[in-house]
Structure 1
Amino acid sequence: MKNNYLYYLIFFCLISLATLYVYTNNVSEKSNYLINANKEFWSIKKTKIKSGQDAYMKPDGFIEYYNSISKRLDQTTSDYKGGYRFSELSKSFKNSAQARNANLEAEFISRGPGNVGGRTRAIAIDPADDTHCTWIAGAASGGLWKTTDCGETWENISPDLPNLSTNSIAQAASNPNVIYVGTGEVFAGNSSFVRGDGIYKSTDRGVSWTQLSSTVSNVDYESVNRIAIDPTNENIVMIATNTGILRSTDGGSSWTKVFDSPNGASVQDLQVDPSDFNIQYAGVNSIGIYKSTDGGLTWTNSSIGISQGARFEIAVAPSDPNIVYTSTWVSVAGENNDLTILYYSSDKGQSWGQVQVQEGFNSNLFLNEQGWYDNSIEVNPYDPYEVFVGGVNIGKYNLDPATQSVESQLISIDEENTGFLSFVNFGATYIGGTINVSDGNLNPSQNPVSVEIRWGADNQQKAHRFTVPSNGGSNGDGGAGISPTEYSYQDYVDVPFEVWDIENNRQLMVSFRDQEDNGIFNLNPRDDENDPSLLTAREYLYIHDVDYDASNPNSDISTTSGGVEFANMYYFWPILATGATWDPSTFNNSILRLNIGDVPVVASEASAVYDAYGNYQGQNSNSLHPDHHNLTFVKTNEENEEFMVVNGNDGGFGFSTDNGVTFVERENGYVTSQFYGADKMPGSDKYVGGMQDNGTYVSSGETVDATNNYNFVIGGDGFEVIWNSADTDFVIGGSQFNGIRRSTNGGQSFSSATNGITDGPFITRLAGSSKSPDVIYAIGGAGVYKSTDFGGSWTMKPIEDERWGGTASASD
């Protein structure tokens, strides 16, 4: 028993030392610096963004950080097993019980902050509560919380569960006692962000929870992005995950995969027709919309008219389920050039048109540069032509379906007997990032048409063969990043296909990049493990808007600098499909068809509902936090067509009772902030912490518990912090890219502490020792910055080792 007691004591001491420094005097007096600090923070942030001095607070850095700390440097994936959080927590409960038997009392106590919420993606509103004020919410890394007064107060309803990453919640309409919760937050493409532990279920309205054993230790359930329950049967459940769509008919005891994600694309949204559970829609990353008409048993691509987009979020109009919307985002090179696109369907997703806003209004800022991560959409429950889209900002579209035009664009591709072909998503504009149309600056086609690439039988034509320098490109290895002007024309050779303009029955010129410089066109499979730069799989194809000549190459293509792009109509990157063999003699009537069609364009009047950074008219600018992940609408007065809005964002909650015109924040008591780092004032009950997308805060008062109102002190993303162990007047923290700031008055105010620092990683790292409290370190590109006066000045200490990763070493 004594040994057990000793081991347990050592264990808790180590935990304590690793998580908290023991630090100093309480500074109870607030300075003027703290008055209206939150408003000042956003004011400064808006000014810097508009002037180009600062960037939007992006989650990319945290994703990179989280991925790095969960694996060794020589690993590509983490060794942590599914369900490890639940398993380790169970062990800790057992150890805690043993410790109490040994007369050792050890307890973890929440220290807040009680006034700074964390990122919230999942919201369920109890259908049996006529006041609509009973909500269950899931935070990205803060567990499950419940309110019965519309967010005025909150209760943690998952204290005995691991610190869940909650991505989705669904409450059964037929039996509200039944609630399903999906874990894992993986909206960063397919990389692991906060990996989940399957699905939890409650049959008593959230009082107790059971982890569904069928979902543990299985990659299919590491990111449960959406959950839908049959409104007449709580045991029929659909889930969308990063690997596909799964269906259960026994309340989650077992599951059947009904849809496999094509090429590993995440299924990031799943919505159901409110009038017919048989009709379901799924948003598949970089592909578009899939639809089921048999309750989720089978799925077909239903994306005609959708030509661009990465993450697709879906909303079905409650008052007219024929009308369906999807909001999506397109990355465009350059600052603030990304597109927010809203597609509209009036026939239950059979075909889609694009919504166009009034001239002079920039709706692209609704999602802005984070539409891959912040993307939410909902329709006015009374008006099918009023739709809200939330991203960095929140915007609203009022459609005029009677005012339509058409626009010719690439609408789809057809493949016949092309199982040997696959395509690389290289961030192109169309068809899931795989095809560019009228690309380049050398007389691109002004009238792209539908074409067929015909393989097999006697299909053969000449093509312009280009090579690239073996030491060219962004990595100096002849792979990525080689400019078209560096392509060298070699000769006019046979290729095992023909390219035809099927609208005008004319054959077209084609060029290809002969990556292997072997004189022929051939495709190899993608092999990321052995060939991460894909140096053997870069036979790009260029189709030109030039009539084919079987005898002579086109001089504009073959002799002009960058001629590989001359009169470009289509450009894409084909590869050999996994498991296929490259043998053109075996291809039989294989056709790749690129379809140009007329897409309806619907007029709308767009406006801002929430203006995060002063790009519009400042709507609700001081009432909400940027970065919106959930919009939930609930009817409150049908006679007057009134509804309330519950909004999940990076700071917790926004709440509107007037149809989304005005908002208030509802995060007090919702203790869910994500901390990069925290520290304690030596000798006092006072704390400082840096939070993801919420800045750096210092606790208030002389005693601190979960309800403590912290004071805002540093803007930007908050990162690691240090409270000087010898002189408690000194505290240091910072924002992204080594935006380090220091306090000399016990955390009341902070000023810049970057003398000698010229660069830094997104994740600002700080390290020090209580034995030499004035000596601290930060990471730079060439090595480590060292300060001997607690941030007063810094000196670079170079690391001349090829293993040093520069600012990318921020998480090492």
Structure 2
Amino acid sequence: MFAKSLTLFALLLFSFFPARAQVASARYDCLTWRCIGPFRGGRTVGAEGVISQPNVLFIGVNNGGVWKTTDYGHTWKPIFDSQPTGSVGCLAIAQSRPDTIYVGSGEGLQRPDLSVGDGVYKTTDGGKSWVNTGLKDGWQISDLCVDPKNPDRAFAAVLGHPYGPNTTRGLFRTLNGGKSWERVLYKDENTGAVEVALDPTNPSTVYCSLWAARQAPWENGVWQGTTSGLFKSTDGGTTWTPLTKGLPTIAQGLGRIGFSVFDAKRLYATVDATTGGGIYRSDDGGKSWVFTNGEPRLWSRGSDFAEVRTDPKQRDVVYAANTSTYKSVDGGKTFVCIKGAPGGDDYHTIWINPVNPQIILLAADQGATISVNGGETWSSWYNQPTAQFYHVSTDNQFPYWVYGGQQESGSVGIASRGQDGQITFRDWHPVGAEEYAYVAADPLNPDIIYGSKGSKYNKKTGEVTSIRPKIEGLRYLRTMPMLFSEADPRTLFLASNRLLKTRDGGTTWEAISPDLSRETWDVPAPFAAVSDQGKTMPRRGVIYSVAPSPTDINVIWCGTDDGLLWLTQDGGKSWANVTPPEISSWSKIAQLEASRFVPGRAYAAVNRLRCDDNKPYIYKTDNFGKTWKRITYGLLDDAPVNTVREDPKKPGLLYCGTERMVWFSDDDGANWNPLRNNMPATSIRDLVVHDDDLVVGTHGRSFWILDSITALRQLSREPVALYAPSVAYLVDWNRNTDTPLPPEEPAGQNPPDGVVIDYYLALEAKEVILEVRDSQGKVVRKWSSTDKPDTLDPLKITVDPRWARPWQPLLATTGSHRFVWNLRQYAPASGLGMDAIWQNTPTSKAPWVAPGKYTLRLTIEGGIWEQPLEVKPDPRK
């Protein structure tokens, strides 16, 4: 990059660039993320509708924020995306003023994989703006309810820290709309409130269930205490009485209780207990209970399910949610399944419109679904981009595909560019892997795709075969690493408690490490205080992260979920424990990255949430793990790190994903800068760099791509106005003459068609001129910031933005800007007009430019900057 002349404007650019420090977001905020889907819903727990507007319903998605539908679930729109967290477990509408909504952050569950939040949020304008009202240290707001006549009176059931004790637990009440919260029901620092409800006939009567439960630091480890129970208040929540008669006792292993209130007399409860678990009914306001049904499919797995709901108008009609949803018409004695797949869909929440009980909203692990006819038919959950992915990978075809295993929904392979102008159901398909799996496409044959639970999928034939290693003593947990070696693309690694490899596509496997988990371990103090099971349980750690060197097949790094880092430099013949001394037992080594630029350099992302530590941890070594340095300056202090990656083209450029957003560092981790831009807050579980794109797998908002990150690769260089663009490809859309999909059909975004041109202005300019010149210096296209659009459409035809972009100006204002040239040689004689609107569709009349070498020239008040541009033909032709 160079400037042919330098003006005062250009000189001023230099004074605005900080030396070796955090980068001002104004230098890169033109970079825009796009969601590619898939539009297949993910774990959703919060759900409620507006009684007076039956077509309007809301859902709270675990790591997906809050969504609203105004058409009974045909389409959904996010309304919480500007907030600092996407982890949502519950919401409650003030029905007397339905623009007032309370939202509880944190998933509100006790399960092996979760994200926490930061309190209760509130809107009074239907979601246009939000305020955090407090209870931030509650981490898990499990339930909310609002007085139906007083929007300022509300209750919050706070479950608390999932991995440690804390006093922000129990039931809290506000009488002033969240300006302050008062704790009104509390047992101890290990007992949280999990559900709260008002008597619909008398809001002074309040019911609440407490649950003493904790997740262990190891996978699937749980603890339940002796202080769980159901409580009732008749004075608005000031004093409480336990409800015990007829219910299982602590001696019977009482756990979580879910309940539903029909009126002052009739209640139902679903009770998780070692002995006596099942559905219960009360006909005296909870004073006594009778057992009605003990079928485990109705009530078991209390850590996941505890949902029972009575029909608002028929006391003997009651629903129970579990792996399927069931209905009883005889007061809970018998049930029939009304919704659910044979493998189980995992339903968490039922909301029934009190005025019209035919309207039922279900929240499940697959998203939200609505019935308007009492359960006869349901809306689709294939219209919500809230999929939860654990990892992400790409293949080597063009356009490249993106892969991952989706929580409770199998696997996904999806095109990064749809053939018909957008990314629809035509462009994605399951790939035979299990829901938690890594997915690895063969770098030498993208039609062969592997899943880390031992699957091999042939995209051409659809055949799935098992390649699970037949080696004794292997342990597999939720998500096991599987990836190809970049140094030797025929070598595929798979991790359990030992590291395995195959060079024949999984026909044979070789173990190249011993068991790398801890033989002995310390139990973190927060869990040791309530349980001693960690001292007596069998060895259960596994390898959670693997990083083969991109340049040396013999160098491999491994990290375990119980807090160990290992290195081999001889292909697995010997292993060295290189764990940083400050990393304790059960610190999860979430991801490792071996440098391609410096031998001996590696990065480690360490997640210590399971040790009740919510801080970020990234470590770096330059000497094969002999010493490590923590590199987290600039990261938010309350969001664990799940992934760290090195840019494959620019030394010192790093990316990381936390429980809230993506970050980058242009100085090898010395300073981190937020790269959230237009992406909603969500759990970033994995990310990869594919050529010039950054590809992210979220745990609640599907896949996202940041196209053309070349500007980030140049931020640490001397400041200029124009950044070198990525190679551009002449990709023509499929001229499909079929009836197009309606705009209401869900679709992911295609990348910009043409050349993505990024530039930055430290000061506002009078005029900016952009030219494209061929190898002979001839001007191919020219734009000016003073250009004005013609009257674009006198008939006022609405243009679907998924198919065409509106006219885009060349901006001369301060900041970073992105301009897209569609690779057309000129605009038609009509001027900017309709060609500007349809510039990226087959209706454009201007011819394509020829493949070859071009020059971009940016002229700003006498200063000239130029960058080379290469245009290539479609690789598929």
TM-score interval, normalised by the smaller of the two chains:
0.5 to 0.7
773, 780, 789: which is aligned to 2:489? 773
Show CA shifts across 1:521-559 (max 9, x none): xxxxxxxxxxxxxxxxxxxxxxxxxxxxxxxxxxxxxxx
1:94-173 → structure 2 map (5 Å cutoff): 95-100=24-29, 105-114=30-39, 116-129=40-53, 132-173=54-95
- Residues 666 and 788 from structure 1, CA distance in 2 versus in 1: closer, same or farther, beyond 3 angstroms? same
1:786 matched to 2:501? The reply is yes
Asked whether the 8 Å contact 2:143–2:194 carries over to 1, the reply is yes
Asked whether the 8 Å contact 2:517–2:542 carries over to 1, the reply is no
Q: Give the structure 2 partner of residue 204 of structure 1.
A: 125
301, 313, 322: which is aligned to 1:382? 313
Amino acid at match of 2:513: P
Moved more, 242-251 or 739-748: 739-748
1:720 matched to 2:438? The reply is yes
Asked whether the 8 Å contact 1:363–1:395 carries over to 2, the reply is no
143, 146, 152: which is aligned to 1:226? 143
Q: Give the structure 1 partner of residue 303 of structure 2.
A: 372
1:582-593 → structure 2 map (5 Å cutoff): none
Asked whether the 8 Å contact 1:311–1:329 carries over to 2, the reply is yes
For 2:289 and 2:130, the matched residues in 1 are separated by 41
> How far did residue 749 of structure 1 move?
4.4
Show CA shifts across 1:710-760 (max 9, x none): 3223264232112233432332224xxxx2212344795432222445534
1:629 matched to 2:348? The reply is yes
Q: Give the structure 1 partner of residue 101 of structure 2.
A: 179
Amino acid at match of 1:251: G
Of Structure 1 and Structure 2, the greater helix share is in 1
Moved more, 251-260 or 683-692: 683-692
337, 340, 359: which is aligned to 1:608? 337
For 1:255 and 1:330, the matched residues in 2 are separated by 32
1:324 matched to 2:267? The reply is yes
SS of residue paired to 1:321: coil
1:661-810 → structure 2 map (5 Å cutoff): 662-682=376-396, 683-699=398-414, 701-702=418-419, 707-708=424-425, 710-714=428-432, 716-734=434-452, 739-745=453-459, 748-757=462-471, 759-763=474-478, 764-781=480-497, 783-799=498-514, 803=518, 807-810=541-544
CA RMSD of aligned residues (A): 3.0
192, 198, 206: which is aligned to 1:272? 198
Asked whether the 8 Å contact 1:225–1:241 carries over to 2, the reply is yes
SS of residue paired to 1:803: coil
For 2:499 and 2:392, the matched residues in 1 are separated by 21
Asked whether the 8 Å contact 1:779–1:807 carries over to 2, the reply is no
Show CA shifts across 1:623-654 (max 9, x none): xx6111011111565xxxx5221111110123
Asked whether the 8 Å contact 2:405–2:433 carries over to 1, the reply is no
Asked whether the 8 Å contact 1:695–1:715 carries over to 2, the reply is yes
- Residues 232 and 635 from structure 1, CA distance in 2 versus in 1: closer, same or farther, beyond 3 angstroms? closer
For 1:720 and 1:800, the matched residues in 2 are separated by 20
SS of residue paired to 1:774: coil
334, 341, 344: which is aligned to 2:278? 341
Asked whether the 8 Å contact 1:111–1:708 carries over to 2, the reply is no
> How far did residue 260 of structure 1 move?
1.2
- Residues 802 and 722 from structure 1, CA distance in 2 versus in 1: closer, same or farther, beyond 3 angstroms? closer
> How far did residue 291 of structure 1 move?
0.7
> How far did residue 186 of structure 1 move?
4.0
Asked whether the 8 Å contact 1:279–1:295 carries over to 2, the reply is yes
- Residues 3 and 241 from structure 1, CA distance in 2 versus in 1: closer, same or farther, beyond 3 angstroms? farther
The list of structure 1 runs, each at least 4 consecutive aligned residues, that deviate by more than 6 angstroms after superposition, is: 1-8
SS of residue paired to 1:699: strand
Taking structure 2 as the reference length, the TM-score comes to 0.51
- Residues 209 and 703 from structure 1, CA distance in 2 versus in 1: closer, same or farther, beyond 3 angstroms? farther
- Residues 678 and 800 from structure 1, CA distance in 2 versus in 1: closer, same or farther, beyond 3 angstroms? closer
Taking structure 1 as the reference length, the TM-score comes to 0.55
> How far did residue 331 of structure 1 move?
4.1
- Residues 331 and 188 from structure 1, CA distance in 2 versus in 1: closer, same or farther, beyond 3 angstroms? farther
> How far did residue 778 of structure 1 move?
1.9
Q: Give the structure 2 partner of residue 491 of structure 1.
A: none
Unaligned runs of 5+ in 1: 12-90, 333-338, 357-361, 401-602, 615-624
- Residues 315 and 685 from structure 1, CA distance in 2 versus in 1: closer, same or farther, beyond 3 angstroms? same
For 2:76 and 2:424, the matched residues in 1 are separated by 11
251, 267, 291: which is aligned to 2:232? 291
Amino acid at match of 1:666: S
Q: Give the structure 2 partner of residue 215 of structure 1.
A: 135
For 1:809 and 1:134, the matched residues in 2 are separated by 46
SS of residue paired to 2:32: coil
Asked whether the 8 Å contact 1:777–1:787 carries over to 2, the reply is yes
For 2:79 and 2:511, the matched residues in 1 are separated by 48
> How far did residue 99 of structure 1 move?
2.0
Q: Give the structure 2 partner of residue 313 of structure 1.
A: 258
Q: Give the structure 2 partner of residue 193 of structure 1.
A: 114
- Residues 373 and 806 from structure 1, CA distance in 2 versus in 1: closer, same or farther, beyond 3 angstroms? closer
1:433-582 → structure 2 map (5 Å cutoff): none
- Residues 794 and 270 from structure 1, CA distance in 2 versus in 1: closer, same or farther, beyond 3 angstroms? same
For 1:389 and 1:325, the matched residues in 2 are separated by 10
Asked whether the 8 Å contact 1:239–1:247 carries over to 2, the reply is yes
For 1:704 and 1:364, the matched residues in 2 are separated by 48
> How far did residue 325 of structure 1 move?
1.0
For 1:192 and 1:258, the matched residues in 2 are separated by 30
For 2:384 and 2:265, the matched residues in 1 are separated by 38
SS of residue paired to 1:111: strand
- Residues 668 and 605 from structure 1, CA distance in 2 versus in 1: closer, same or farther, beyond 3 angstroms? closer
For 1:174 and 1:200, the matched residues in 2 are separated by 18
Show CA shifts across 1:102-137 (max 9, x none): xxx4222111001x10011011212331xx121111
> How far did residue 686 of structure 1 move?
2.2
Percent of pairs identical after alignment?
23
Q: Give the structure 2 partner of residue 522 of structure 1.
A: none
- Residues 704 and 691 from structure 1, CA distance in 2 versus in 1: closer, same or farther, beyond 3 angstroms? farther
1:53-68 → structure 2 map (5 Å cutoff): none
For 1:383 and 1:127, the matched residues in 2 are separated by 17
> How far did residue 269 of structure 1 move?
0.7
Higher relative contact order (CA 8 A, sep 6+): 1
For 1:156 and 1:678, the matched residues in 2 are separated by 23
- Residues 179 and 346 from structure 1, CA distance in 2 versus in 1: closer, same or farther, beyond 3 angstroms? same
For 2:486 and 2:461, the matched residues in 1 are separated by 18
- Residues 784 and 297 from structure 1, CA distance in 2 versus in 1: closer, same or farther, beyond 3 angstroms? same
152, 155, 158: which is aligned to 1:238? 155
